[in-house]
Amino acid sequence: MEERESEEREAKIFEDLCPELMEVVLSRVPLVTRTRLKCVSKSWRHLITSLRHSSPQTTSSGLVIFSKKVEPNVHQSSLIEVRDHQDCNLYDSFRHKFPWLVDSCNGLLLYANKENNNNWTYCISSPLLNQWLILPQRPKSWILVRETIAFDGHNPFKIICFSSQEVDFSAGKVSCQIFLSQTWKWKEDELTLLNSNLLLERECCYMDWFGPSVYSSGRLYWAWCSSMLVFYEDSELFKLVRLPKSKTTKKCTKYPLYLRLWASEGRIHYCEATQEGYCIWIYLNDDDDDEYEWQAKRSIMLDRSIEVVLWVNKTMKARVGEGMIQPCAFNEDLQVLYFQVPPGSIVSYSFETQKMEKVWDYGKPGEDYFMSHVFPFLFNSVNLVSKDMSN
Amino acid sequence: MASAPENEKNASAPEKKTLTLKSMINNEEFVVDEHVALQSVTIKNMVDSDCAGDVIPVPTISGEILALVIEYCKNHANPSASEDDLKKADAGIVAKDIYTLIDLVLAANFLDIKGLLEVTSQKIADSIKDLPHQDVREIFGVENDYTPEEEAAVRAEHDWAFEGFP
């Protein structure tokens, strides 16, 4: 009897919710889940397909393109809005003296400059509110470090700095400098590094080269040689995890600065360069110490040639995945991976349609285009001078 | 749970009008300040067009759900509540199981309370986003009208969305 009642209740739910209210709910479900839910029933499939056409997925994450030396000692950052996987739009472009854009995290940008006395200085920026704040002098500011913003989009931010020179592999210690926005001060710390032995069996020569970081749920992730470095914000602890390898992995990429990690559906994804293109892996387990916590997700075969504008009026065919053509950003809302294609184009690859499209040109002859970097950027108006940031 | 209008110190209106909302499912009655109840566009229309008597009957919404709706309206009618407070209060209201949330979204839709509709549907979306489609089908009581072959074909067509999904 009870079962029947609950069946009746359930049947009623869908009748009541369908379809306008169901549309309201489903439009808030991420693209990947929504696509999976096409398997629920024919009417759901129809509803989801029409929803996708009538109100395409929106996103507030875009790209920031940093170009070095657009004029002597003047550099430029451009914010690019993304409408869908084929359509980008210049939101704003601004020039600045700081010669390096070192990180972008949930609406904040971190710029660096090496002064004449060889000390590094930093400026944190919230570009949507045109706020630029110079940070106090970092301890040991003469050491070249990897600077990373840890910022969830609302609460105070931190900047984590460390250098591979300052890692004691046998003792499992990393000395690092951490800037806290609450106190507006740096602190120095010697933090524990778990599994540091992984870096002793290194096969990679680029000890200092970290790919762009990912900040997700209080953790920072970097790809570092053949390992992934994880920083746990709460416990202030580092851990190394071995990155997975497929049979056709490329031995050692010439350009280790490309994007290798991103977060999607709350999980870390790793993009491994292979002979054919890329293999995407998912980091499954963060909590126990199993060695192999990776699951292969998909391969992207990149034998498709795309046309790239080279200099003026000349085009060339380029194979994505070759040379300096490398991933630079991932858009979770659209499930699109962006590639930076020198000398100044951005190409998108949609996981949904498996199509590549050229979406942006930013290179001009004569510019120092090899020093251009593309980072993900979140259109989030962060107020750096509000109480939330400093208290 | 019937509650009397609260006496706020800084209330500016000299006479406080109240409305009584009555759940037609279990006949529970709620006395609320008019300005609180008027956040519902449906009730506002009734009051504006003089269709509202002393007691406003609310069909298809249980007392339990109506209490949540009124809690939401009270929070949002308080002019001194900060955005942060409201966010926290909203999160508390929607911290419910999926079936309550579905009832709540239906109520928000019927009473036409935009903010409540938004937070509730977002919460439902968040609760189902990691579930296999079979579970979602069960929760919403949807009849599976695919043959196993058809379902497999739809799945294969959208293979990319299932990659790495258990």
Closest-CA distance, B154 to chain A, in angstroms, reads: 6
The region that residue A218 occupies, defined by phi over 0 for left and psi between -120 and 50 for alpha, beta otherwise, is left
Domain boundaries defined on chain A:
2-54, 61-390
Does the beta-carbon distance from B146 to A41 stay under 8 Å? Answer: yes
Q: In this complex, which of A30, A38, A280 lies closest to B154 when CB atoms are compared? A: A38
Contacts of B165 in chain A (CB under 8 A): 36
The region that residue A112 occupies, defined by phi over 0 for left and psi between -120 and 50 for alpha, beta otherwise, is beta
First to last CA, chain B: 44
Q: B88 versus A196: which is more confidently predicted? A: B88
The number of CA neighbours under 13 Å toward the Cβ of A187 is: 10
Instruction: Please tell me the CATH code under which domain A61-390 is placed.
Output: 2.120.10.30
- Tokens read off for B85: 């407070």
Chain B residue with minimum CA distance to A281: B164
pLDDT tens, position by position, B131-141: 999 999 998 88
Q: What is this model's ipTM?
A: 0.83
Contacts of A268 in chain B (CB under 8 A): none
Q: Please, which residues have CB within 8 angstroms of residue B16's CB and are 6 or more apart in sequence?
A: B5, B33, B34
Does the beta-carbon distance from A10 to B140 stay under 8 Å? Answer: yes
Q: A356 versus B13: which is more confidently predicted? A: A356
Q: How far apart are CA A77 and CA B109, in angstroms?
A: 44
Does the beta-carbon distance from B128 to A29 stay under 8 Å? Answer: yes
Q: Which pLDDT score, from 0 to 100, does residue B4 have? A: 47
| Contact present, A186 and A230 (Cβ < 8 Å) | no
Looking at the DSSP bridge assignments, the partners of residue A356 are A349
Does the beta-carbon distance from A10 to B138 stay under 8 Å? Answer: yes
Q: B159 to each of A38, A269, B130, B132, B162, how far by Cα in Å?
A: 11, 17, 16, 14, 5
Closest-CA distance, A10 to chain B, in angstroms, reads: 4
Mean pLDDT score of chain B, rounded to an integer?
86
Interface check for A245 against chain B (CB to CB < 8 A): the answer is: no
Q: How far apart are CA A266 and CA A222, in angstroms?
A: 16
Interface check for A301 against chain B (CB to CB < 8 A): the answer is: no
Contacts of A36 in chain B (CB under 8 A): 132-133, 158, 161-162, 165
Q: Which domains does chain B have, with CATH numbers?
A: 18-129 (3.30.710.10)
Q: Report which of A270, A274, A228, A229 is spatially closest to residue A251, judged by C-alpha positions.
A: A274
Q: A217 to each of A214, A232, A234, A381, B136, how far by Cα in Å?
A: 10, 9, 10, 20, 26
Cis preceding linkage at A343, omega within 30: yes
The region that residue B31 occupies, defined by phi over 0 for left and psi between -120 and 50 for alpha, beta otherwise, is beta
Does the beta-carbon distance from B121 to A24 stay under 8 Å? Answer: yes
Tell me how crowded residue A244 is: count the other CB atoms within 10 A of its CB: 19
Q: In this complex, which of A40, A42, A266 lies closest to B136 when CB atoms are compared? A: A40
Q: Tell me the whole-structure pTM to 2 decimals.
A: 0.80
- Residue from B87, B114, B124 whose CB has the most chain A CBs within 10 Å, to mutate: B124
| Contact present, A300 and A272 (Cβ < 8 Å) | no
Q: A383 versus A293: which is more confidently predicted? A: A383
- Residue from A3, A28, A40, A335 whose CB has the most chain B CBs within 10 Å, to mutate: A40
Least confident of A194-208, A209-223, B31-45, B81-95: A194-208
| Contact present, A44 and B142 (Cβ < 8 Å) | yes
Interface check for A350 against chain B (CB to CB < 8 A): the answer is: no
- For A224, list phi and psi in degrees, rounded to 5: -135, 110
Q: How confident is the model at residue A390 (pLDDT cuts 50, 70, 90)?
A: low
Q: How confident is the model at residue A109 (pLDDT cuts 50, 70, 90)?
A: very high
The region that residue A266 occupies, defined by phi over 0 for left and psi between -120 and 50 for alpha, beta otherwise, is left
* DSSP at B103: H
- Span A267-285, mean pLDDT? 83
Q: Which pLDDT score, from 0 to 100, does residue A320 have? A: 47
The kind and range of the H/E element at A228 are strand A227-232
Residue B95 buriedness (CB in 10 A; 0-12 / 13-18 / 19+): exposed
Q: Which pLDDT score, from 0 to 100, does residue A262 have? A: 92
